[in-house]
């Protein structure tokens, strides 16, 4: 094997390691989502398991950062390789944040199970969570296939999650005004809704990185401006 061929082989191996680590992070997220879907539907979930996944996710994110910085400093990658490495940092960070958000939801649901009225309906939250879960899966598919059409579709669909959040917020305010005794319950539910909304935002970030990796375009300012418009 030539020297150039040996170097390329080493580079490819390092890139595959980072990509494999990212895929592992997506697996942690999927397990947490499955747990939370059970929690929102049946109230049956393992909060400690979700906390453990969050810890492993955070540790792996640090390892991806270390490998990526080492790679860039030692190999001076260019073009497609460099775009992948830059995007991998942001994608890993988004999955790390998604892990934190799922842990926050699990802890709040655990608190509600101990303190709150179990007859409170979570139908709206379940629907919102299913949409967010779908976005996370879609953004993962878009990123690893570098599918620009799918990535842009995910970015557009995130605005539906935002509109759902605003609708749920108004719904909970109405319930609290009707029955002040339930204020604490709906404050908890509103907190959970906000965490789900943030999961949608991180799905957008992952989709944006699919586009950046593919052709170097940065759509983050476009996405954020549309989000700002929704908040007005």
Nearby residues of 199 by Cβ (< 8 Å), 6 or more positions away: 98, 101, 102, 132, 135, 136
Based on C-alpha coordinates, what's the Rg of the chain? Answer: 20
pLDDT band at 59; cut points 50, 70, 90: very high
CB distance 158 to 134 below 8 Å: no
CATH number, domain at 93? Answer: 1.20.58.220
- Averaged pLDDT of the chain: 87
Predicted pLDDT at 227: 43
Quick one: CA dihedral 174, 179, 184, 188, positive or negative?
Answer: negative
Task: Using a cut of 0.75, tell me whether the model's pTM lies above it.
Answer: yes
Count of domains observed in the chain: 1
Nearby residues of 143 by Cβ (< 8 Å), 6 or more positions away: 87, 91, 151, 206, 207, 209, 210, 213
Q: Which run of H or of E encompasses 142? A: helix 123-145
Identify the domain containing residue 59 by its residue range.
3-231
């Amino acid at each position: 094997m030539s020297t150039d061929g040996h170097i390329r082989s080493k580079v490819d191996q390092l890139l595959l390691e980072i990509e494999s680590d990212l895929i592992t992070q997506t697996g942690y997220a999927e397990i947490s989502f499955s747990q939370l879907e059970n929690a929102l539907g049946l109230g049956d979930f393992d909060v400690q398991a979700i906390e453990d996944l969050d810890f492993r996710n955070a540790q792996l994110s640090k390892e991806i950062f270390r490998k990526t910085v080492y790679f860039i400093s030692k190999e001076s990658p260019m073009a497609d390789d460099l775009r992948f490495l830059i995007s991998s940092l942001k994608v890993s960070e988004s999955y790390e944040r998604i892990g934190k958000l799922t842990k926050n939801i699990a802890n709040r649901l655990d608190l509600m199970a101990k303190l709150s009225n179990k007859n409170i309906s979570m139908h709206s939250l379940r629907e919102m969570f299913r949409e967010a879960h779908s976005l996370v899966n879609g953004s993962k598919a878009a990123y690893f296939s570098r599918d620009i059409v799918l990535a842009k579709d995910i970015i557009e669909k995130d605005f539906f999650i935002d509109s759902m959040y605003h609708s749920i917020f108004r719904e909970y305010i109405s319930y609290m005004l009707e029955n002040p005794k339930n204020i604490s319950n709906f404050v908890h539910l509103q907190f959970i809704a906000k965490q789900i909304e943030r999961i949608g935002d991180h799905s957008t970030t992952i989709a944006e990185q699919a586009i950046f990796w593919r052709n170097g375009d940065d759509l983050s300012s476009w996405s954020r401006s549309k989000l700002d418009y929704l908040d007005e």
